Structure 1
């Protein structure tokens, strides 16, 4: 038990401007008593808070009496000093542990937060429930309405092509967007769009099969949510995103995946094409031609389009070319009429609308 004692003190009682001089008595536990010739007052030590340091004095206030002032000498008995509030310079916990340790701790926490933010997409993206991803996709893209092209023959051809590169029981949704850009995009919620500009560039259905299989691969490998979280942050899970169709679709079309994800999507496409007896040489020619048209083969950066957000086409073309089996007599993935119907979907759809960028 701590030993009780009395020390000299001066104080203002918080009710008037009279300065009292007397003694502070401590019972060795939690109770303090101010004893003056004309008054006596008892209160708990926990009611005090540190005020300021004056020459030769510590000044304390009381929580219950804001105008109260207690002045004690600098040198206090160790037992009493442990019961009184300490001087606060940086804040309670920083003062307790010290500025150096607090700064080191903050640096460790900051580094851990940065590491979590940088790695969160890779482990969080694939674990987002499918229902959440569908809701996010609807919030970001909304209703595409008549901006997706439809004709009976074109829809049938696209369905046939999709079945070849996506054998899963629950199919990815696919469509041809009425946009002249040479691009394709995988949307959150399991939807893939081929832009009409890319469809028009294709010279064979096997070329489209390679592109479509690649985008389906992004969906099946859960790359879409990983890339979304990396690009737009966790806010998309909490507050959705801009529901402007064109702005969101354009942003998604330019969204970049990691190099590993791109290779996984290409590998998915090649595996599905092998299962369906689709020649990978068409996809190889497609990549080579786009690289030539964009100047990539001359070392120039890829123009805005499907090449801009993907790895070097030469490497990809070589991988698809090497996947071809020598002497294999591949079955055409679509007939000539079906391919023509797919390429003419947007031109022959009387109700289709163009995407408005302004």
Structure 2
């Protein structure tokens, strides 16, 4: 082609040998870039196979999609007639240049908003769909973190089993245990497991109080709230790495585990229904919630005794105990005398379970 508006000097490497070629490059209407070198056969490169690579001081460098080692260097001031048939110099990136900066920014905003929305809503729909086998593995790993800090005596185990029968009569029952931790808290773990902390048991003044707390945590298990809350609290990493943490990380993570208000209401509704079916007085749970509400500062915010500080764990993860106390109190049948959940001896066995276990270790916070 003789029209110089479509032709320029060129240097290239064919991608197959290390030989440097010098000659001219010109556009062919058939969609080709023809490379000519004196005394050598011409080379034809499909224009749609060319890719812009980089800008040098006075040159533009192109590569080929099908020959990664091919290099073509053309002067940056090449004729416009040729330049408009070559891949454009990238400014922001290939796809951004293709659609423009404005549309690309808008697309990025939409994707970002969608990603945030997915992250915020994923736990609520993903949590209940976690395979039970995964959930059991995570729960077993967490229980393993507690090591020899789970209390066990024959009389205490029997008392806890009796209470569990009353609040969870399902054929495949939730597993319950007592952790030797001086914190007023109880937690539901993945894999249908519930732990009562010894600090909470010591705070309880009647078996009915403990039954209300245990029934509430069983409710979280039965309503499949646990994995939803854990995904929200710890993120997806818990599914990828399990619960491979120290006891401190596991414990404080569980103590601060937050359920939605809807989940708390569902767990309380489950607890009241189970207590009604098993003829357990809801007044015990009401009294417990009223008492810890006052100890946390509702009655005397200036008192900072150790006992009041101990309820922090429960208050952090179970909001509005005053409202919950009212709901349990209103569930009681007026004038009815409820049978005890445990005998005095059984309640005492539960109270002294950790103190009488000769092998149990105590968790040290500091």
Give TM-score, length-normalised by structure 1: 0.87
Matched, 1:10 2:9: yes
Structure 2 contact 279–338 (Cα < 8 Å) conserved: yes
Name the SS for the 1:325 alignment partner: coil
Partner of 2:263: 261
Name the SS for the 1:327 alignment partner: coil
* Aligned pair partner of 2:198 in 176, 196, 199: 196
Q: 1:321 to 1:311 in 2, by over 3 A?
A: same
Correspondence 1:278-289 to 2 at 5 A: 278-289=280-291
Per-residue CA distance 1:38-85 (angstroms, 9 max, x = gap): 555222134533367899x984534456564234744217xx844x21
* Aligned pair partner of 1:346 in 342, 346, 354: 354
Correspondence 1:218-237 to 2 at 5 A: 218-237=220-239
Name the SS for the 1:44 alignment partner: strand
| Superposition deviation, residue 260 in structure 1 | 1.2
Partner of 1:325: 333
Partner of 1:76: 81
Partner of 2:168: 166
For 1:36 and 1:194, locate their aligned partners in 2 and report how far apart those are by CA, in whole Å.
85
Higher deviation after alignment, 155-164 or 338-347: 338-347
Partner of 2:43: 42
For 2:180 and 2:92, locate their aligned partners in 1 and report how far apart those are by CA, in whole Å.
61
Give TM-score, length-normalised by structure 2: 0.86
| Superposition deviation, residue 274 in structure 1 | 0.5
Q: Give structure 2 stretches of 5+ with no counterpart.
A: none
Structure 2 contact 8–79 (Cα < 8 Å) conserved: no
Name the SS for the 1:194 alignment partner: strand
Per-residue CA distance 1:111-157 (angstroms, 9 max, x = gap): 11110010010000011111111111223341544312222121111
Correspondence 1:85-124 to 2 at 5 A: 85-124=87-126
Structure 2 contact 21–37 (Cα < 8 Å) conserved: no
Structure 2 contact 51–62 (Cα < 8 Å) conserved: yes
Structure 2 contact 159–349 (Cα < 8 Å) conserved: yes
| Superposition deviation, residue 345 in structure 1 | 1.1
